[in-house]
Structures are given as C-alpha cells and as structure tokens.
Chains A and B, each alone.
Chain A
C-alpha cells in the first residue's frame, strides 16, 4: 500500500467519499462524474459482487485514461446479465466473442490500435474465474508472454456461476459446488488443487500484477490507476462474492469480501516485474471461521458436530498467506 491514507479520523479514507475530504482524496465512485460504465437495469442477481466490481474497475480505468478504453469481455455472468439483446448496460466501447478467447481478442484489439497509431486508446479485457484460470488460460498466458498492452481483469467468484455453480480452478478447498458435493469424509472441493493465478501471472514477469476486493475501494482504484500507468501486460485479480453461488445473504457481499481479506485467505498485494512490491496489511485480523460461517457453501463444516479439522486446515492456508506476505504489520499506518 504505497499510497497515503488520509489521516481523517471519522472515516479515515475507508469510505467511498466524505464531505470533509478534498475531492482528490475521495474515490472515483464518490463523484457525480463517474462513468457508470455498467448502468442500471442489468440483470445481475441482487447484491452481485461482480457487477459492483466491474463498475468500480472500469470507472477507475475510464477516469485514468480520460475515457479512452475498449473492453473485451469473456462469456460468463458479466456478459450475460449485461447484454441481453436489444439492451446493453455498457456505457463504453465493449466487445464480446467467446468464453475462452477474451485474451486473444484483446491482443488483437491492441494490435489493431497499434497499427492505427491509436496508442492513446487502452484495452481492458475481463472475465470470470472460469474464463480466466481455466478455459482462457492458454491465450492469457500467451498475452502475458508477448507482453501485449492489455490490462486483464479477472472477477473471481470462485466457480462457474453462470451455468449453475460448477467448480473452477479457483474454487477454494471444502467449498460445495454443483460438481463438488458436500459428501463423504472430504466434503466439497478437494485441498491442494486449483491455481493461484496472481502467482502464475507474476511468474511471467509481466510489468504489473495486483489483487483487490470489492471491500476496499480506495485500494482497488489505486491499483487500477497504477495498472494504467504501465504499458504491456498487466493482471488484476478481484475477489467478488456471489450471493447465489456462495449461498450468502445479498447484503453480505461486501462484508464477505472484507472478511476474506481480513482473515488472510485473500491477500491484497502488488507485484512489479515478478516481485511483490507492496501488501495491504490487515487492519482487524479475524479467524477464517468468521468468514466461512455465513456462507451456505461451507455449511457442512458447521452442521451438527461440524468439521473443526477442516476449518483448521483452512486456517492454516490463511496463516501461510499471512506469513508469506507479511500481512500483519506493527501499528502505525
């Protein structure tokens, strides 16, 4: 977190805005002039974290580029709920092709813009975790490897939500999905599988990699703005709770993202050229149970006598992240 949080004690700089803060210290979202890239009338579920994150990210990208953005979207909820013909919710230039080819299409758009001498127009590609870590992974790796001038954003809701909550390479251990039933001695998704895409992106040595969540808007907007300051391939991985797939209350979306971060299960970090350069320290550390309990997809861990052994294994994952990235820091921002 290399930027300065405003020393303002009523809300710090954690809220979206505040009447007492200078406009420069408020978020893009607090502004009447925000693009509203994804406008009202879309068909996302109530409390959808992905819809929220997409507006957060793209409004920030629009603000950072003076509105010169072309978006390429993979198939998934975000595409389906935003563009049922003849309606669209997008208020920027937006293309959709297929589930697995968004990175390839984005590379093509970037190449075309380059050919036309339009270096001022920037390309953002986006998709769900299925489209990113699974089916789109090959073309994404190619995009990274060629260092194409694209910001790729993954909205990670940890399963294939649009087709009915099937497991993806980003589904966490023990989570119930339609394809990982909560049955047997090891209910839900298995431990030890899945892909840590931010780490994989870092391993490509691309200019910029970051993780963000819908629970810390200042952090998220800072990272988008920072990403737009680089040329070449950049990757942003945003955690977006999904009330439908996580079986959580619609009002809990932001709180769950906050708990994922504060428990250490979803570290917020930034990396440049393959090296971690900054992490966002935990403000109020919580145990993983506080995060898991409100989610129906983990209900089998708490039913009856519960499965404290599995909860403990998940806690170990969080503890490892905290140690690995130094997420608990001494007092003083």
Chain B
C-alpha cells in the first residue's frame, strides 16, 4: 500500500478499523423483547407497556389503537378493572406502581371524546358465528371475530347489552354513557345484535338457523352467572329479604326500591360492597355488612372495602345471620379454625335491620345446553379446554359461565382467546396459545437510571357528597398528569430508546440504525422492526456493559457460537 503523506509525515497511517476485535468475543449481546409483568398479569392480555410507550409520547390515538388491539373497552376497564397489572408492576418496588388503570381510562375517555372508531374488517370470510349473551365476554368475542372478518349475530336475553357491566356494577363506578359509548362502538362494527332474545334451547336454535338458511358455523356461550345463590335462613313473615343482584338491577332500571333506614347486607364479596353502598344512596342511614370471616379472608377487593367504609358502611366481622324477623336479625358469632374456616361459637347478638340484602354469590343458568349432552358441566360451571372449547366441537364458552376469576377483564380476555380459537376452528385447525416471552422481572432492571417520582393519585369525590348520588366517584386524570403517569413506566424488558447502549460501549460497537454504514465491509446485524439500534459484531468484544447498563433489561448476553 503506497500513500501520499502530508509534509513531515514519513509513514502512512492506517485506521484501527482494520482490526476486527469482534474475534475476541466469547459472548454476544442480543436485543430482546421480554414480557413486562404488567402484560403478564393482564387477564385481557393487553400489551400495557406497548400502549404506554405511545402514551409517553403524548400520542393518545396510537396508544388507544394499540390498546384496543386486545381490549375494545378501555374506558370501562379504566373504571371497573381490579388492576392486577398494577399489583405486578415493577415500579412498585421502586416507589409506587405506575397508575396504569388511570392512564387507560384517560385514553378510553380521549377516544370517546374524539369519536375514534375501529378499523372496519378488511375481509369477509363468509363464516357466521352465534354469540349468546352480550356481556363483556360476548362483546369481546364478537369484536375480535368481526375484526377477523367473520359475521356475528348476538342473541341477548336482556333489553340492553352489557351484562353485569350494566345490571351489576353500579353507575357511580361505571357511568352508563361511558358503557353505552364503548358497547355501541363494538356493535357498530356490523354486529347483528338481537336484544330481548333469550336462547332457551341451543340445539333448537341451531336447527332453526339451519332451517332458515343462515346456519351458524360456530357458537360462543357467554351467558355469565346471572342467578343469585340462596342460603336457607329462617325468617318471619313480614321480614324483608331480597338479593343483591335484583336490588342492583332494579336501580339500573330506574327504580328506587324501599329498603328502610337500616339495611343489612349478607356476604363479603364485591357485590356485597356495591349493595351496601347502593343502599346508602337509596337513603339508608345505616348499612351494615355481615360477614362470617375476617378482613384478611374477605374476597372483596381491598379498595372496594375501603371505598365502602369511607362512605360510612359498617361491617360485622365473624358473624352469620341465623334468624330474620321484622326489624331485627339474630347473629351468631363465629371463630376461624386453623384452616381459616369459620365455625359457630354459640354466642349470639341482635342487629336492628329493616331489610336484609343477600349477596352470597352467583351461579349460571345452564338450561340452554340441557339438550346437548356433549357439553359438560362441572360443579355448576361449563367445562372447557385450553382453547375454551366445550365437549361439543364448534361450541365455545368463556367469562363467568366457566367459573374462573369472575371479572369483566377475564371475560374480555376469554372473548379474545375464543375469537382466535373459533378462527382456527373455522379454518380447520386448533388454536394453540403462542409461547410467552421470558419475564422482565425487577432483577433485570438497572434502576439507577430512573429518577424517583411519586404516583399521581386520582382525585376522589368528597365522601360525604358521593353517598347521596350515583355520580361517578373516582375522577380521571387530566392530560398533564396522564402524560406524567405514562412516563413513569420503566418499559420493562422493551427498549425505549434511551441511547444507553449506544453510549456505554467502549468499542463503538452499537450502531444507531440511522447511522450511515461506516467503512467497507461493515455488516450490521439488524435490531429488528422498530428497533433503532444494532450491534456491530465486527468490533463488539462481548464485554456485556451494554446489557448491564440497559435500564430496562432489553439486552441479553448469549454464548458465542463456535
């Protein structure tokens, strides 16, 4: 190699780029997408970190579109969901969990305000699916089936869609205009929703459809658990005993049932909390929950209990009702055995009450499948396989009717899974859940890079004011606080473009992809779609600094291939 050298320079100088230090490497860094704990915990399978990423940029429409890819009802979620994502959130170990649910609500409300609509399905498959029940499970299944191009008919027994979102959850927690807006948007996808249309005998319904020349190629049963469970309690003639579901339903239908001044609610679930709070709003001066175990063992979500206590609801712990007479109840004190099971003590006391509301749980009315012996029932719930299919090919079920983790969010998650399973079934295959990415646990984070910030707590209506009205109790975030809250996300296991890897490499072996290719022969391994960095394995020595200093754990070191 000969070269002109400048004045007084006697030797030509070469660049160290000729020295490919990548050959020193025994381990190589690789970019990965891990599963953030929030996504892992979401029963609706939301990509929480993914939509927060868009929200961090203030692009709420993109955030909404990313969110509704999994869950069509973010504004409902932002009010009714019990937030397992926040329980799992890694940020809780740093200061406090990200207010995921508050941001979700903000995004949902934003979309309603801006009138955002779903993309219409691009294709029509010619297949026709029957959905029984327009609760969250049925609506979610219908939504995802429509997006996959299938025709959907919903038969719903009630006069309005929504299931327990409408007839169970009270309006002070889920305002009906919000519910109507999000349900309406799903139906507007071109779903044939037939209200006041109970399915009494599914076998007959399927036959009728066939005879009418518009058969169903698959069925989803999302009939919920709509019947209140009963318990035998000896009662005098004039005692006023009613169940929580009918109380809540009649309030939804615009009635104001007379309960009297003193109301006892029997049970310890969320329905009991809602019934007691509703009784207060209907004018009861005293609402007392009677529950046979203690606070630690109560199935109601702690926040629901807090809200009820905050409104003046009282609780009689470790008590059962043994007799109901006009104006008074006989309670028996209980104690817990070693397994936490309550047993009677024989000790009794009286409690003044004008009415008793039973909130002892719900069960499903499965008479519609009585003529389909392959559809198996287990312990009062429909049995399904991992793809939500019942014993009868083509008939699927999900939501409360399968009796697992009975929440709106789980119902919506089942609806999505069922839609995928039906889609596979209609194509002649069977749905397999895709393998999950490895979890981005807290120990994978390098938290030094995240600064400390308190959580934005949603303002609450003054407790004294809210008990007299059915106005919404929890208020939303404004745009500033929503942005702030979204930006508290640590982006666990997924690159958020902090440039740390690009900065900390002592060998300049991390490339930002916009960067011009440097010298001849440099080959950059692609970082993948949407990824703005890549490793230059010609020079990477495999020190592992980039992986160690990535704040969110999005780089792993792998043994070098021989």
Contacts and interface: CB of A to CB of B under 8 A. Distances in A.
Interface in B485-509: 487-491, 496-500, 502-509
B16 A20 contact: no
B212 interface: no
Contacts of B277: none
A254 interface: yes
Given A30-B499, A32-B514, A86 B14 contact: yes
Nearest to B12: A86
B12 A29 contact: no
Contacts of A40: 16-17, 21, 507-509, 536, 538-539
A84 to B, nearest CB: 8
Interface stretch (A4-12, A100-108, A198-206, A269-277): A4-12
Interface in A11-54: 11-20, 26-27, 29-30, 32, 36, 38-44, 46-49, 51-52
B57, B484, B544 interface centre (most CB from chain A within 10 Å) = B544
B499 A26 contact: yes
Contacts of A231: none
B24 A20 contact: no
Given A251-B543, A251-B545, A284-B448, A39 B502 contact: no
Contacts of B185: none
Interface string B420-432: 0000000000000
Contacts of A19: 57, 496-498
B286 interface: no
Contacts of B547: 251
A10 B56 contact: yes
Contacts of B450: 9-12, 14
B508 A254 contact: no
B512 A14 contact: no
Contact of A20 (B451, B487, B506, B545): B487
A46 B541 contact: yes
B490 A10 contact: yes
A3 interface: no
Contacts of A41: 15-21, 539
B463 to A, nearest CB: 30
Interface string A250-277: 1111110010000000000000000000
Contact of B506 (A11, A48, A86, A283): A48
A91 B544 CA distance: 25
A55 interface: yes
B2 interface: no
Contacts of B14: 86-88
B549 interface: yes
Nearest to B508: A40
A283 B450 CA distance: 11
A140 interface: no
A46 B547 CA distance: 14
B551 interface: yes
B548 interface: yes
Nearest to A250: B543
A18 B498 CA distance: 4
Contact of A250 (B20, B538, B545, B549): B545
A14 B503 contact: no
A32 B545 contact: no
B499 A44 contact: no
A17 B533 CA distance: 13
Contacts of B538: 40
Contacts of A27: 499, 503
A74 to B, nearest CB: 19
B11 interface: yes
Contacts of B20: 41
Interface in A42-100: 42-44, 46-49, 51-52, 55, 82, 85-89
Nearest to B450: A11
B544 A251 contact: yes
A292 interface: no
Nearest to B549: A254
Contact of A46 (B15, B512, B543, B549): B543
B19 A16 contact: no
B21 A15 contact: no
A20, A217, A251, A255 interface centre (most CB from chain B within 10 Å) = A251
Contacts of A251: 543-545, 547-548, 557
Interface in B425-469: 448-451, 453
B515 interface: yes
B13 interface: yes
Given A14-B451, A43-B21, A29 B548 contact: no
Contacts of B507: 40, 42, 44, 51
Contacts of A258: 448
Given A36-B508, A51-B506, A89 B16 contact: yes
B542 interface: yes
Nearest to A39: B508
B543 A32 contact: no
Nearest to B20: A41
A9 B487 CA distance: 6
A47 B502 contact: no
Contact of B15 (A20, A39, A217): A39
A9 to B, nearest CB: 4
Contacts of A252: 548
Given A16-B498, A17-B498, A85-B11, A47 B544 contact: yes
Contacts of A243: 543
A14 to B, nearest CB: 5
Contacts of A18: 496-499
Contacts of A89: 15-16
Interface string B279-312: 0000000000000000000000000000000000
Interface in A207-263: 217, 243, 249-255, 258
Given A10-B491, A42-B507, A16 B453 contact: no
Contacts of B536: 40
A86 B13 contact: yes
B273 to A, nearest CB: 34
A55 B508 contact: yes
Contacts of B449: 11-12, 14-15
A255 B16 CA distance: 28
Contacts of B497: 17-19
B547 to A, nearest CB: 7
A223 to B, nearest CB: 16
A36 B11 CA distance: 23
A87 B543 contact: no
B10 to A, nearest CB: 12
Contacts of B557: 251
Given A41-B21, A43-B19, A43-B21, A30 B503 contact: yes
A11 B498 contact: yes
Interface in B525-562: 536, 538-539, 541-545, 547-549, 551, 557
B545 A253 contact: yes
Contacts of A48: 506
Nearest to A19: B497
Given A29-B499, A41-B15, A86-B11, A11 B545 contact: no
Contacts of B545: 47, 52, 250-251, 253-254
Nearest to B505: A52
Contacts of A44: 506-507
A217 B545 CA distance: 15
A14 B544 CA distance: 20
B489, B506, B536, B545 interface centre (most CB from chain A within 10 Å) = B506
9 contacts: A10-B488, A11-B449, A18-B499, A29-B499, A47-B541, A49-B506, A87-B18, A251-B544, A255-B549
Interface of A: 5, 8-20, 26-27, 29-30, 32, 36, 38-44, 46-49, 51-52, 55, 82, 85-89, 217, 243, 249-255, 258, 283-284
Given A16-B503, A20-B56, A87-B19, 6 more contacts: A10-B450, A18-B498, A38-B508, A42-B21, A52-B505, A251-B557
Q: Ordered nearest first, which 5 A-B pairs have the shortest CB separation? A: A12-B451, A17-B499, A251-B544, A16-B503, A41-B16
